[in-house]
Each structure stands twice: as C-alpha cells, then as structure tokens.
Amino acid sequence: MISDASLYSLAVFLGSAAMLLIVLYHFLEINAKEEGSKSESVVGGERKADAIPAAYVVLVYEVWATRQQGGGSAVPGSVHK
C-alpha cells in the first residue's frame, strides 16, 4: 500500500509536471508560425499581443505552492488568515 507521504509527493510531482506542460504548450502555441498558409492563423495577431505571459503563470503557481506548504502568503502586503 502507498503511504500518505508517498502519495502526497506523487501528487505534488504530477501537479507540477502538468503545470509545466501547460505553460510549455501555451508558450509554443503563442510563438507558433504557420507554414504554407496565407490566411490568418487560428489565433489572430491581436490575441497573441494580449496573451498572458508565462511569468505571470509561474508567479500564480508559486503563490499557490507556497500557500499549500503552509508558508503563509507569498504576495507582499497581503493578509493571509
């Protein structure tokens, strides 16, 4: 049987891997270049300009991870009860 600590470690690892794959996917999707097509890409130029930067996603994940570890708030000046 798997122990609680092992299960927790596995869940944290798989969740972190999933988050990194999501960030990688969005990075590649935003920077993808269409070849052989003269029409507008599925994601328009105006959408690419206002896409969420990967640094923001990483910041949100770091705040979430810090709170999950019981470290309080990772955001300066915020109140965490």
Is 63 within a domain? yes
Q: Which residues of the chain have pLDDT under 50?
A: 81
* Angle, CA 65 vertex, CA 64 and CA 70 arms, to 5°: 100
Residue 60: its pLDDT value, please?
78
Is 79 within a domain? no
Alpha-helix residue ranges (DSSP H) falling in the chain: 4-31, 45-49, 54-68
Range of the domain at 49: 4-32+43-68
pTM of the predicted protein model: 0.44
Q: Which one-letter DSSP state was computed for residue 42?
A: S
Is 50 within a domain? yes
Is 37 within a domain? no
Is 55 within a domain? yes
Is 38 within a domain? no
Is 25 within a domain? yes
Reported residue count of the chain is: 81
Mean pLDDT of the chain: 76
Q: How many structural domains comprise the chain?
A: 1
